[in-house]
């Protein structure tokens, strides 16, 4: 059973850098068919895709956040991480890690198939 | 930047049928956008409902179906139940590895 679990500080000061880690169990982060993503949700609002990483370390970021985001992975620990710099109150959100399946079932498919439970991060003044 | 559009809120009577749509501020939704749908209830992470337009995720009841209607992706719930009350989000693939979420539809069953 694939499980993803976010971890990291729940409170971070404005202007500082947020660091979160997602630990994957039941699947290998080295999988050819999957990308590992960060997604956030601000209070009362919708979901925002932050970015993703592949097993070879290749990353893609949301253009609106690209200047502040770094996603990395540690295959030896089966983990991937998010770093978001220059925080403001607008970055207060629940941060989810999620696996995206990009591969073949009967035909080629592309969708988020597993999600973590989410981690609330509050940015304080 | 292209925006993914969804109805902010919809309501349906128990046993009724409702269709949620997912469009683009510019252009049409087609197979190459790989539209997918996610259901979220309060305090829970999103749950995959539909992917690749019309493939139901494992364990999703067949009252949920997906399609393309005109230039939008659509999620139809036939025979709505009280526990279908939730937020529903669509996601579109924009190319170059970028995914964009719609703003979500709050579905009320009453």
> What does the pLDDT look like over A76-115, one tens digit per residue?
999 999 999 999 999 999 999 999 999 998 899 999 999 9
CB distance from A63 to chain B under 8 Å? yes
CB pairs under 8 A between A and B: 62
pLDDT-derived band of residue A19, with 50, 70 and 90 as boundaries?
very high
- Kindly determine whether residue A110 and residue B48, on different chains, have CB atoms separated by under 8 Å: no
For B83, phi and psi rounded to 5 degrees?
-80, 5
The per-residue pLDDT for range A28-51, each reduced to its tens digit, is 999 999 999 999 999 877 899 999
Averaged over B7-33, what is the pLDDT?
96
Asked if B93 lies within 8 A of A112 by C-beta distance, the reply is no
Question: CB distance from A104 to chain B under 8 Å?
Answer: no
Q: What share of chain B is helix, strand, coil (3-state, %, to 5)?
A: 5, 50, 45
What's the CA gap between A119 and A117, in Å, rounded?
A: 7
Would you state the structure tokens that stand for residue B90, as one six-digit string?
A: 């669509």
């Amino acid at each position: 059973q694939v499980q993803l679990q976010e971890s990291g500080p729940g409170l971070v000061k404005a202007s500082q850098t947020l660091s979160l880690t997602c630990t994957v169990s039941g699947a290998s982060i080295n999988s050819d068919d999957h990308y590992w993503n960060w997604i956030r949700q601000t209070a009362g609002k919708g979901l925002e895709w932050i970015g993703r990483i592949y097993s070879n370390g290749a990353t893609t970021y949301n253009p609106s956040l690209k200047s502040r985001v770094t996603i990395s992975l540690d295959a030896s620990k089966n983990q991937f991480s998010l770093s978001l710099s220059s925080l403001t109150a607008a970055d207060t959100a629940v941060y989810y890690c999620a696996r995206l399946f990009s591969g073949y079932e009967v035909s080629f498919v592309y969708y988020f198939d597993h999600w973590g439970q989410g981690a609330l991060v509050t940015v304080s003044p | 930047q292209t925006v993914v559009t969804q109805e902010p809120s919809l309501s349906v009577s128990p046993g009724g049928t409702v269709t949620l749509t997912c469009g683009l501020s510019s252009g049409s939704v087609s197979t190459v956008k790989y539209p997918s749908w996610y259901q979220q209830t309060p305090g829970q992470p999103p749950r995959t409902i539909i992917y690749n337009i019309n493939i139901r995720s494992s364990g999703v009841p067949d009252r949920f179906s997906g399609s393309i209607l005109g230039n939008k992706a659509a999620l139809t719930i036939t025979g709505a139940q009280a526990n279908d009350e939730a937020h529903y989000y669509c996601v579109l693939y924009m190319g170059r590895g970028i995914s964009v979420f719609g703003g979500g539809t709050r579905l009320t069953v009453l």
